[in-house]
Structure 1
Amino acid sequence: MLDVVHEDEAGPTLVGRVMRAVRELVATRSAMPGARLPSIRRMAETQGVSKSTVVEAYDRLAAEGVVVSRPGSGFFVAGRMPVLRLAEAGPKLDRVIDPFWVARQSLETPAEVLKPGWGCLPDDWLPQEALRRAFRAMGRDASANLTAYGSPLGLPALRAHIARSLNERGIEVEPQAVVLADSDSVALDLVCRLLLRPGDTVMVDDPCYFNFQALLRAQRVDVVGVPVTPAGPDIERFAALAAEHRPRLYLSNAALQNPTGATLSSAVAHRLLQIAEAHDLTIVEDDTFGEFEVHPTPRLAALDGLRRVIHVGSFSKTVSAAARVGFVAARPDWVEELLDLKLATGFGNGDANAQIVHRVLTDGAYRRSIERLRTRLAGAMTLTLQRLKPLGLTPWIEPRAGMFLWAELPEGLDSAVLARRALERGVVLAPGNVFSVSQTAGRFLRFNVSQCAAPRIFEVLGEVMRG
């Protein structure tokens, strides 16, 4: 009988105990590169486990490159161990501040670095227990698809759930008009590949989510920014720019605009659709932050009926950033073309993550998780506003909900300079011009209030502001 304890059970596993013992031998130089490890029988006796446990531990270490297997001779410490270079593990202080800056610094710096500029929720704010239940349930479900290609449209059960949710928000859509993708960014990339050609013009908010700019740069199109107001894009400038540039697309957030937290008003939404109709403009609305709204605001896709609006979303902010699942809701002729493009570029998407996300969404605890998120974000917003005020930062608006706060620095300060200084002190800030097409947001910083709990963030911010 195997005595291997599964990884999702409480406490250290027996396999893990053997692996740690081997790592200690290597780390303390008790077993030098090339040295033979204790035999399976001897290690089993020493650790008080079965031989099958040792075999699994050795196999895992071999897969990681810590040890090597020599058939007929046993297991040996790998000949060369990788050397950790501290310079490579630290922040890239000399990196140019561009639309990739915040993402690269947040993803590449060590976990202990504070990241108020990053766009994700803390891990313990997400439904981790529901995720673990979903993984366990999928592992026990003999009907779960763990190996085969999925349908080009994506997992039917998840598409049906998304369609129901969209209908509840007034967006009338059938499951066959919902296409799954491997993230919100992949969904947007598919839409852009379908509708854009190099040299086309796309309008975005100014400021806008930095990855919109990065994505459009990859499409080799011209990007035009339209100023943002607390009620949405400046509608007069929007009309003038649409007439002047004849853009192919307008790309924006559906709710709680990133980075400002602005909320689209009904009047602006209706006027936007009139202008889009007059100039044959397609609108792509990204609804990634919609679940954070306490009182839902207008969705252009609901007002338009998906005629010239494409609705995109994901679950990275409410379920898991690791389970990469996004979706596109669009009119039928675009769906067919998206499917062909999806097959050509990625041969569909796997069902594994979609099954996990679907199980979490249909878990009875998910609704309560969203309610807790909204409450925690509201509290974090209030606390962040209180901490910024003594430093002289002024909120552009106080958002109705959500995770982002767009704040202006005192006269004479440059957010890019402050971001570099803060990075040297272990804090990742999000400087304004990362988000600005026109590069006119040099005195702004975006704060993710859910990542602003540590008082040190504001101590460092005060230090770098003082120079």
Structure 2
Amino acid sequence: MKRTGTRIGTVMAGVQAKIAARTYLPGTRLPSVRAQARAMGFSVSTVLEAYERLAAEGVLTARRGSGFYVTGPVAPLALTEIAPQLDRAIDPLWVSRQSLETDASVLKPGCGWLPADWLYEAGMRRALRSLARAGTLELTEYATPLGHPELRQVLARRMAGAGIDAAPEQVLLTESGTHAIDLICRFLLEPGDTVLVDDPCYFNFHALLKAHRVQVVGVPYTPNGPDVDRFGAAVQAHTPRLYITNSGVHNPTGAVLSPVVAHRLLALADRSDLVIVEDDIFADFELTPAPRLAAFDGLSRVIQIGSFSKTVSASLRCGYIAARTDWIESLTDLKIATTFGGGRLAAELVLRALTDSGYRRHMERLRLRLSGEMHKALPRLEALGITPWLVPQAGMFLWCRLPEGTDAATVARTCLKDGVVMAPGNAFSQSLSASNFLRFNVAQSTDARVFDVLARALSA
């Protein structure tokens, strides 16, 4: 009897999980009792009892001669209920929350940003002092729909330096890089569309795309960019609407896109209805600029986005979208609908920081400092049997393989108990094929305790 009750509970929990994940929407007809019984290996009576109990709770409704249907309303969106299901120690949202919520005593080699004292604090203070003396409009008024005109001009000039021809009217300011992608998804996607991402890729791409209820397909990433043959196969098999990537310093691998791969990707995009979103957030970390898809494409099928949280200040929420003019027009309407006027104060601060005479020197020092910490971290990791997938030319990330047979999620859970936040590989992998990888932020790995805790976790 106890076993039967457990099986009934299993059926009920499975149905409720699919309702929570919006796989079963109101009005959806559930698999027949017999079909569900065969699929789960349970008896017909067990499944029927589970369905009847859910009907008694008002979750389902039974229609004579037709079956059981989901009642309304639509379940509140819970991103953690949307497949694939991951242990919370490796869930992208959980990694982010651990990194954001913990106090200063917790070490964060798994987070994706620089330590506070590595950012452009001096420039920010100068910008704040200057802005305090500005006129009333800068301090109190809404921004224009496209955003701060002078900052857009500066961004257009910066993009021109990378070979991207974008007029200021083709640049739309956003509240952040994440907000930029969210607007693009609202503009181009419908629930059920397919989006390609790199495997591995920045884990918050996964979380954001879940919120848009799309199918996500990962394409293996190589040291030169995505595997073009696998990319072409995915385009043919899934007819994706978007591909989201980093073209500069790739997150989490640190790889750089090659010109050959860039041209082959664009040829595939031209033969399909594929739009490419190129996240250029790490552009200022580069020593030698990598090819930009937006430069080769001329902002025809490629949309470039970026922000300044990695180099100026994570507290300053300001990003941008560069795209063809007709798309910017529609994206501007979406921006007004979702944020109304946007942040005039933040844009003014970014402008003053970027045009400050000290920003170039700040970035030179930062690149040298990151290079130094990269070379310090490598032997420390290798002493633990942890090997880099590649040694990046620039940036803050090392994508590393753990010793054979080691599970990164288990290591992360153990380290978390000792006050160290790690970033396990499967948080970045749509295919969950990176279970023995960790991403290290070398700027957040300067404390020897990181490696002491890691050594204990590996030997546990």
When the two structures are superposed, what TM-score results if normalisation uses the length of structure 2?
0.80
The match for 2:381 is 388
Provide the C-alpha distance between the structure 2 equivalents of 1:188 and 1:158, rounded to a whole number of angstroms. Answer: 20
User: Does the CA-based 8 Å contact 2:90-2:423 persist in structure 1?
Assistant: no
Provide the C-alpha distance between the structure 2 equivalents of 1:230 and 1:219, rounded to a whole number of angstroms. Answer: 30
Q: Which runs of 5+ in 2 are unaligned?
A: 1-86
Structure 1 residue 141: deviation in Å?
1.6
The match for 1:243 is 236
Whether 2:110 is the aligned partner of 1:106: answer no
Provide the C-alpha distance between the structure 2 equivalents of 1:130 and 1:257, rounded to a whole number of angstroms. Answer: 27
The match for 1:211 is 204
Structure 1 residue 144: deviation in Å?
5.1
Provide the C-alpha distance between the structure 2 equivalents of 1:280 and 1:200, rounded to a whole number of angstroms. Answer: 12
Counterpart residue identity of residue 217, structure 2:
V
Provide the C-alpha distance between the structure 1 equivalents of 2:264 and 2:410, rounded to a whole number of angstroms. Answer: 39
Counterpart residue identity of residue 214, structure 1:
A
The match for 1:124 is 117
Identity %: 58
Counterpart residue identity of residue 139, structure 1:
A
Whether 2:192 is the aligned partner of 1:199: answer yes
Counterpart residue identity of residue 378, structure 1:
S
The match for 2:38 is none
**SS state at 1:159 partner:** helix
Provide the aligned length of Structure 1 versus Structure 2.
374
Structure 1 residue 143: deviation in Å?
5.4
Whether 2:338 is the aligned partner of 1:357: answer no
Structure 1 residue 97: deviation in Å?
2.6
Provide the C-alpha distance between the structure 1 equivalents of 2:229 and 2:341, rounded to a whole number of angstroms. Answer: 41
Whether 2:298 is the aligned partner of 1:305: answer yes
1:256-267 aligned within 5 A: 256-267=249-260
Provide the C-alpha distance between the structure 1 equivalents of 2:234 and 2:121, rounded to a whole number of angstroms. Answer: 45
Provide the C-alpha distance between the structure 2 equivalents of 1:267 and 1:254, rounded to a whole number of angstroms. Answer: 13
Provide the C-alpha distance between the structure 2 equivalents of 1:339 and 1:252, rounded to a whole number of angstroms. Answer: 23
Structure 1 residue 203: deviation in Å?
0.3
Provide the C-alpha distance between the structure 2 equivalents of 1:294 and 1:164, rounded to a whole number of angstroms. Answer: 19
Which residue, 398, 413, 416 being the options, matches 1:420? 413
Counterpart residue identity of residue 444, structure 1:
F
Structure 1 residue 348: deviation in Å?
2.8
Whether 2:244 is the aligned partner of 1:283: answer no
Whether 2:246 is the aligned partner of 1:253: answer yes
1:41-440 aligned within 5 A: 95-142=88-135, 145-440=138-433
Provide the C-alpha distance between the structure 1 equivalents of 2:400 and 2:90, rounded to a whole number of angstroms. Answer: 18
**SS state at 2:140 partner:** coil
Structure 1 residue 96: deviation in Å?
4.9
Q: What RMSD, in angstroms, separates the aligned Cα atoms of the two structures?
A: 0.9
Structure 1 residue 142: deviation in Å?
2.2
1:188-243 CA deviation, whole Å, 9 max, x = no partner?
Answer: 10011100000000000000000000010000000000000000000110011111
Provide the C-alpha distance between the structure 1 equivalents of 2:407 and 2:278, rounded to a whole number of angstroms. Answer: 31
Structure 1 residue 383: deviation in Å?
0.7
Counterpart residue identity of residue 364, structure 2:
E
When the two structures are superposed, what TM-score results if normalisation uses the length of structure 1?
0.79
Structure 1 residue 384: deviation in Å?
0.8
User: Does the CA-based 8 Å contact 2:309-2:316 persist in structure 1?
Assistant: yes
Provide the C-alpha distance between the structure 2 equivalents of 1:279 and 1:399, rounded to a whole number of angstroms. Answer: 32
User: Does the CA-based 8 Å contact 2:123-2:358 persist in structure 1?
Assistant: yes
Provide the C-alpha distance between the structure 2 equivalents of 1:421 and 1:265, rounded to a whole number of angstroms. Answer: 38
**SS state at 1:285 partner:** strand
The match for 2:61 is none
The match for 1:90 is none
Provide the C-alpha distance between the structure 2 equivalents of 1:277 and 1:95, rounded to a whole number of angstroms. Answer: 39
The match for 2:438 is 445
User: Does the CA-based 8 Å contact 1:266-1:298 persist in structure 2?
Assistant: yes
Shift in CA distance, 128/144, structure 1 to aligned 2, threshold 3 Å: farther
Q: Which runs of 5+ in 1 are unaligned?
A: 1-93
